[in-house]
Structure 1
Amino acid sequence: MTQASYPDLNGASVFITGGGSGIGAALTEGFLRQGARVAFVGRSDATDFVDRMEQETGNRPLFIQCDITDIPALKAAIEKAATANGPIRALVNNAANDQRHTTAEVDESFWDWMMAINLKAYFFACQAVMPGMKALGGGAIINFSSISYMMGGAGYPLYTTANSGINGMTRSLAREFGPDKIRVNALAPGWVLTEKQLEMWADPDALAAHMDKQCLKEHLHPDDIVGATLFLASDASRMMTGQAMVVDGGVAVTG
């Protein structure tokens, strides 16, 4: 898919959580093709992906293996990325886990784990990049949410709780960080057919039912989320903050 070119992203230091697989891998590639200096974290080894990205884009990303629920490790990864690539100008909080569950089976341990991945890590990543962005004279934070909380999706109540929390956090941080020219926006994808989704939950009946809800009759793929992310990270959206952008083929019609 051809993406718009944003000259201000060329050479920009970008940090992506979960940037080695799924939507995150597409985001890493998208920023690399803009000429950005990309660092990303993930739990699984991504050496092969890094090598492939260098070969295909001519721009090698920095991979730092990290579990984002380990906040000291996440902060250390952000510091390492800033040392290698310069102060982070764009943070993309993308990593998430939408494991299916019912309310009845949730215990405190599972609650804490889901919130650690889907909300807590987002906040502390924002906190960690804020001083560097302030020193740079501005920056952009993109917090990935989901339309699941807008639709009242069943089957993963802790995930939708965190998604809604991300939206509230985004608005508050946009207000707090705005005087330092740091923009904070949320991006809410619809059902994006990553390898994980296709393997675990995208059976024909579920796909057909979801397609009935979409205005645009094509399923979303990771590349469909890249353009909106690049836009939110670039100066093209310089006066846009505290917003939630939906990219879902027209399921959650907002406004």
Structure 2
Amino acid sequence: MSSIQKNEQLANFPSLKGKRVFITGGGTGIGAAIVEAFAQQGAHVAFVDIAREPSETLCRELAEAGYPKPAFRHCDLRDIPGFQKIIAELQAEVGDFDVLVNNAANDERHQLEDVTLEYWNDRIAINQRPSFFAVQSVLEGMKRRGGGSIINFSSISWHQSSGGFPVYTTAKASTLGLTRGLARDLGAHKIRVNTVTPGWVMTERQIKLWLDEEGKQAIARNQCLQGELLPWHLARMVLFLAADDSAMCTAQEFIVDAGWV
């Protein structure tokens, strides 16, 4: 299995059983933990990812563990027409979605001086644009279902004025604008829209590419809660926002960062 196992001491959300959930970037890291968490709740999960092998492995292992097998499609989110076609296919297979989780992103490092127009467009095409068009694609189905929950992922990096990837922080800051800009219009259809903002989550990618001794010291110095912030911590917040327990939560940002100050 991926980074979490079933923990009977954690909350079960009966309202999620049988719900139809669509997740972007569900094959690895935080996304995989979200896929797993929803499957453990008895939800019907569909997800896309550009990483084919780990996504297929996740689906197989969840099915072998006795959970509903997720529906996976390989997808490059930069291709919006192709992305929306896949969402339509998955809706036909799984049914209209009750929950959308816009999780996919790529925090590749870069410097302001090196950014070309081509690179800017490529980063925006990965980190910003797909979320809007995913909402557009699931909207009519959510209306037919009588409501829904949309959960957009931001990043603590722009809150912290982090340097080293300005196009990424620009895109992630805009997530709050997307959330608040949609909450009013979609609220009339009982569709809730919220943002989840992770701190420095210890995914395999982060550990491999960015975590060094200086980073470990920064975590120890800045987190109010000591210890590793892990993908499953984010997944649990997503479950709450998808469940009926958060029925009157919308237009909000929920930060899960172990109290980084």
Coarse TM-score class (shorter-chain normalised): over 0.9
Matched to 1:193, the amino acid is: M
Question: What RMSD in Å do the two structures reach over aligned CA positions?
Answer: 1.0
Q: 2:13 aligns with which of 6, 18, 31?
A: 6
Q: How many Å apart are 1:56 and its aligned residue?
A: 1.8
Contact 2:96 / 2:145 at 8 angstroms: preserved in 1?
yes
Equivalent in the alignment of 1:251: 260
Q: 1:53 aligns with which of 46, 50, 62?
A: 62
After superposition, residues 3-82 of structure 1 pair within 5 angstroms as 3-45=10-52, 46-82=55-91
Q: Structure 1 residue 169 and structure 2 residue 178: aligned? A: yes
Q: 1:152 aligns with which of 161, 164, 167?
A: 161
User: How many residue pairs get matched?
Assistant: 252
| 1:188-240 Cα distance to aligned partner (Å, 9 max, x none) | 00000100001100012112113211100112111111110000111110100
Equivalent in the alignment of 2:202: 193
Contact 1:192 / 1:220 at 8 angstroms: preserved in 2?
yes
| 1:134-176 Cα distance to aligned partner (Å, 9 max, x none) | 1111000000101111111111111110111011111010111
Matched to 2:44, the amino acid is: R
Q: Structure 1 residue 223 and structure 2 residue 232: aligned? A: yes
Whole-angstrom distance in 2 between the partners of 1:36 and 1:158: 35
Output the TM-score relative to the length of structure 1.
0.96
Listed as ranges, the gaps of 5+ residues in structure 1 are none
Equivalent in the alignment of 1:178: 187
Listed as ranges, the gaps of 5+ residues in structure 2 are none
Contact 2:149 / 2:193 at 8 angstroms: preserved in 1?
yes
Q: Structure 1 residue 130 and structure 2 residue 139: aligned? A: yes
Matched to 2:17, the amino acid is: N
Whole-angstrom distance in 2 between the partners of 1:161 and 1:202: 22
Percent pairwise identity: 45
Whole-angstrom distance in 2 between the partners of 1:58 and 1:128: 27
| 1:120-141 Cα distance to aligned partner (Å, 9 max, x none) | 0011001111111011110000
Q: How many Å apart are 1:53 and its aligned residue?
A: 1.3
What is the SS of the residue equivalent to 1:58? coil
Whole-angstrom distance in 2 between the partners of 1:185 and 1:225: 14
Whole-angstrom distance in 1 between the partners of 2:94 and 2:15: 15
